[in-house]
Amino acid sequence: HAADNPYERGPAPTQSSIEALRGPYAVSQTSVSSLLVTGFGGGTIYYPTSTADGTFGAVVISPGFTAYESSIAWLGPRLASQGFVVFTIDTLTTLDQPDSRGRQLLSALDYLTERSSVRGRIDSTRLGVMGHSMGGGGTLEAAKTRPSLQAAIPLTPWNTDKTWPEVRTPTLIIGADGDTIAPVATHAEPFYSTLPSSLDKAYLELNGATHFTPNSNDTTIAKYSISWLKRFIDNDTRYEQFLCPLPRPSLTIEEYRGNCPHTS
């Protein structure tokens, strides 16, 4: 319980609590104008309304090529209501490439923890990154640059760099079996395989899914993202039960790879 882990937040999880459209925390939001920040394109911060439970870990999420914050907005309240501060961002231009998106994720994290109106609600030692497509490629870039990050979740990631042995951040890569824009055979799968074998890492391939599945509310993406963020940003071992033993193939899971039990 909380006496053993000062970072755990919220009640003991169940299958239904991680699948629910909303978690236990009521969520507020505030928008960040692109005119008032540098290094990224502004966005929306979703955060637990109450301050009664102390500080929370935080996650920044980047959209993909040609896309806006709106394309990943569903993740804001869905993750924040489980007990995280979540910042969905716009990029400087919609054409920015993964390396730029990686730098923008880090600029947004720095804004969030150092200057934003919710900075006092965040534990700046417990941070993560996520992103869709080129934003997922940027997620890997951000983790490579800043090994102090606690969790990374690339969603149907796209990158020309196919090898990620430098990453030290626990990483859950989510691919889609029907992705023809970032096919898993040339993107998500080699990204996963080239992460260090000693790293806490996992590969979830969605069944019956496309490149754009991460752009709509999706319970499989949500439940494993929540579990990964809780396990590695909050050190909350109550969520290990959803990650190990490895989930079996199902109607929504084509394949799941990983190393269990987790070590960090």
Instruction: Say which of 132, 211, 218, 262 is annotated catalytic.
Output: 211
Supply φ then ψ for residue 67, to 5 degrees.
-105, 165
Q: Is 98 exposed, middle or buried (0-12, 13-18, 19+ CB in 10 A)?
A: buried
**What is the sign, positive or negative, of the torsion defined by CA atoms of 236, 252, 139, 196?**
positive
- What's the closest the beta carbon of residue 152 comes to ligand 9J3, in angstroms? 16
From the list 199, 197, 263, the residue with the least C-alpha distance to 231 is 263
4 is an active site residue: no
211 is an active site residue: yes
Instruction: Say which of 90, 96, 179, 234 is annotated catalytic.
Output: 179
Binding interface with Zn ion (CB under 5 A) = 161, 163
Binding interface with ligand 9J3 (CB under 6 A) = 64-65, 133-134, 158, 181-182
Q: How many CB atoms lie within 10 A of CB 65?
A: 19
Q: Would you say 62 or 113 has its CB closer to ligand 9J3?
A: 62
Among ligand 9J3, Zn ion, none, the one that 163 touches (CB under a kind-dependent 5 to 8 A) is Zn ion
Structural contact between residues 154 and 137, judged by C-beta atoms closer than 8 angstroms: yes
Among ligand 9J3, Zn ion, none, the one that 182 touches (CB under a kind-dependent 5 to 8 A) is ligand 9J3
Q: Would you say 195 or 253 has its CB closer to Zn ion?
A: 195
Instruction: Say which of 133, 200, 234, 236 is annotated catalytic.
Output: 133
Q: Would you say 87 or 158 has its CB closer to ligand 9J3?
A: 158
Cα separations (Å) of 230 from 66, 67, 102, 223, 240? 30, 27, 22, 11, 9
Among ligand 9J3, Zn ion, none, the one that 64 touches (CB under a kind-dependent 5 to 8 A) is ligand 9J3
- What's the closest the beta carbon of residue 96 comes to ligand 9J3, in angstroms? 10
179 is an active site residue: yes
Q: What is the DSSP letter of 213?
A: G
Among ligand 9J3, Zn ion, none, the one that 20 touches (CB under a kind-dependent 5 to 8 A) is none
Q: Would you say 158 or 203 has its CB closer to ligand 9J3?
A: 158
H or E element that contains 86 = strand 84-89
- What's the closest the beta carbon of residue 48 comes to ligand 9J3, in angstroms? 30
Separation of alpha carbons 156 and 153, rounded Å = 10
Q: Would you say 44 or 133 has its CB closer to ligand 9J3?
A: 133
Among Zn ion, ligand 9J3, none, the one that 131 touches (CB under a kind-dependent 5 to 8 A) is none
- What's the closest the beta carbon of residue 213 comes to ligand 9J3, in angstroms? 12
The torsion defined by the Cα of 206, 207, 213 and 217, in degrees rounded to 10, comes to: -80
- What's the closest the beta carbon of residue 242 comes to ligand 9J3, in angstroms? 28
SS (H, E, C) 26-79: CEEEEEECHHHCCCCCCEEEEEECCCCCCCEEEEEEECCCCCCHHHHCCHHHHH
Separation of alpha carbons 111 and 74, rounded Å = 22
Catalytic residue set? 133, 179, 211
